[in-house]
Structure 1
Amino acid sequence: MAKAFASQGDMTEKEISFTEVGNGLWAFTAEGDPNSGVIIGDESVMIVEAQATPRLAGKVIEKVREVTDKPISHVVLTHYHAVRVLGASAFNADQIIMSDAARAMVVERGQEDWDSEFGRFPRLFQGHESIPGLTWPTQTFSGRMSVYLGNRRVDLMQMGRAHTAGDIVIHVPDENVMFTGDIVEYHSACYCGDGHFGDWGKTLDNIAAFDVDAIAPGRGGALVGREQVNAGIDSTRDFLESTWRPAARVAARGGSLKQAWDAVREACDAKFSDYAIYEHCLPFNVARAYDEARGIDTPRIWTAQRDQDMWEALQD
């Protein structure tokens, strides 16, 4: 390659924050690294997102043990990406839950995604030798399901395609708080390499309709209060539209991927270059937007080789 991905040189440790977003509800965040959520019920704890390795999951467990000694009974995975799921074994949970669509994507592309993400972003795979293998759910669902942690009800819902085709959100109705996974980000770039630009905005509308009091996003700081929630949803929407429109215009006139890259940079750099993982996400976002604009509905599988081929094309 002409040069390495931006993320390959990102070896700086991020500062962890642990923010209470509702009674017994916590957001584990780390300056744009993948977030996790903690839901404390009457009898046990649910974790949302497992981190990339058991070692990194251990950092979440350390924070959980600062606020409760209840056992961790459930791990809920909002989608299939390696940086979200491969640390699940550390929690020793009775149940690992994801959507039927997300499980199908583990079958179809889980190993390729692991290999690709490991090559792109080595810092996020600290302790990778402890990963026992692909993470498989013990339970799946389509549409909606509820889990009871004692009397506390937790609703798991598919709101539409967005970051992937298998995304779910987690809503805790007694506090009106939502854990959105990577459907919503805050001052962090959205990774759209496996996304659905045409559906993502409608999915954001579905989330906004809940009028929640707080959101724990996939990356970036916790959004507490209606003003911050709306700001997070609006900035996510702006990021997506600013990426999609220039790429789609280039594709419509038969332009090249490199021309789409240049057009997206012109539209996005001034607004988003200070967002976490912006440079990391940009080539994958442009490639996916360019594909979708040319009628490719199902995102093509990223492999370590495809990553390199795409990056070399953009450097030409």
Structure 2
Amino acid sequence: MAKAFASSGDMEAKKISFTEVGRDLYAFTAEGDPNTGVIIGDDSVMVVDAQATPVMAQLVVDKIREVTDKPIKYVTLSHYHAVRVLGASGYGASEIIASEKCEGMIYERGQEDWDSEYGRFPRLFDAADSIPGLTWPTMTFKDRMTINMGKRKVELMHLGRAHTAGDIVAWVPDEGVMFTGDTVEYNSACYCGDGHFNDWGTTLDAIKAFAPDAIAPGRGDALVGQEMVNKAIESTRDFVESTYKPAARVAVRGGTLKEAWDAVRAECDPKFADYAIYEHCLPFNVARAFDEARGIDTPRIWTAERDQEMWASLQG
């Protein structure tokens, strides 16, 4: 029996957690579904990553209202992917912040990504008809921006390419807490289909240099304490390297994508097969690793049609 495409057959609702990772700092998590961060300042709230629809965003708003009645002023996008950005209108924020590169990627491939991701994982797009259209930032920056939320400062930084070319993190120095988006995951597969394998480790090193006391990762449980933080950073590094190196060896000798798929499975299955969305990510990860190893620096745009063709060729 053929496997269901990507996560199209995953319709099981996940348990939501709302974990305090520092004073007035929270991670909204859901057993491997996309996470959202919450930063409460003196006079307002910042949300980091928006969920995929305004209806999904309301689940985050409900949790925020359990701990504060301050207005949600900022929505910060860690990167351009549809499951992270299309729910932004649900917060009523006055500012939507992203890197310049993220904004460029929305122009370049935002609609294609929306169509692609909806086909891959329809459960994450609850009430998809509530999405008003592509999400556009109102504020952008190249490398760094400081947001003053009263006495609390939030440092938004592009530390390097990883999950996408436009990734940013949000650093809250008064509590030593970082919101990393999908640059760091915990017990969840990294989606590398738009990634930069050879840069990812350096970006992880830059995160590690801050010595965070807690991290809200892109997927998986909140990471509280430096031991758990470092474990997640290193497991993310291992996942990325274990995906790229076997695919690169096949590419260098002129092998096929299917041979790269087999080589990556042999390396990764024993270590990561029980991770959330592992089977979902694997074909896209292998395809991108194979491309990067052959010198294709800018990830090719995924379309709904390309998704299906690639899936069929690798899954059989």
Determine the structure 1 residue equivalent to 2:274: 274
**Contact 2:162–2:203 (Cα < 8 Å) also in 1:** yes
The percent of aligned pairs where both chains have the same amino acid is 73
**Contact 2:214–2:223 (Cα < 8 Å) also in 1:** yes
2:90 is paired with a residue whose SS is helix
Q: Are 1:7 and 2:7 counterparts?
A: yes
Alignment of 1:257-272 (within 5 A): 257-272=257-272
Determine the structure 2 residue equivalent to 1:220: 220
**Contact 2:257–2:290 (Cα < 8 Å) also in 1:** yes
**Counterpart amino acid of residue 179 in structure 1:** F
- Cα deviation digits, residues 205-232 of structure 1 (max 9, x gap): 0000000100000000000001000000
1:66 is paired with a residue whose SS is coil
1:18 is paired with a residue whose SS is strand
Determine the structure 2 residue equivalent to 1:42: 42
Distance 1:61 1:175 in 2: 23
Alignment of 1:1-316 (within 5 A): 3-316=3-316
Shift of 1:4: 2.6
Unaligned runs of 5+ in 2: none
Tell me the matched-pair count. 316
**Contact 2:100–2:142 (Cα < 8 Å) also in 1:** yes
Unaligned runs of 5+ in 1: none
Distance 2:40 2:118 in 1: 31
**Counterpart amino acid of residue 101 in structure 1:** K
- Name segments (4+ residues, structure 1) moved above 6 Å: none
**Counterpart amino acid of residue 192 in structure 1:** C
Shift of 1:151: 1.3
**Contact 2:6–2:281 (Cα < 8 Å) also in 1:** no
Shift of 1:3: 4.2
TM-score by length of structure 1 reads 0.99
Distance 1:231 1:34 in 2: 20
Distance 1:151 1:89 in 2: 27
1:228 is paired with a residue whose SS is helix
Distance 1:104 1:141 in 2: 12
TM-score by length of structure 2 reads 0.99
**Contact 1:27–1:36 (Cα < 8 Å) also in 2:** yes
**Counterpart amino acid of residue 288 in structure 1:** R
1:165 is paired with a residue whose SS is coil
Shift of 1:6: 3.8
Distance 1:187 1:107 in 2: 32
Distance 2:146 2:11 in 1: 39
**Counterpart amino acid of residue 106 in structure 2:** V
**Counterpart amino acid of residue 189 in structure 2:** A
**Contact 1:2–1:312 (Cα < 8 Å) also in 2:** no
- Cα deviation digits, residues 185-244 of structure 1 (max 9, x gap): 000000000000000000000000000100000000000001000000010000001101
Distance 2:71 2:238 in 1: 40
1:39 is paired with a residue whose SS is strand
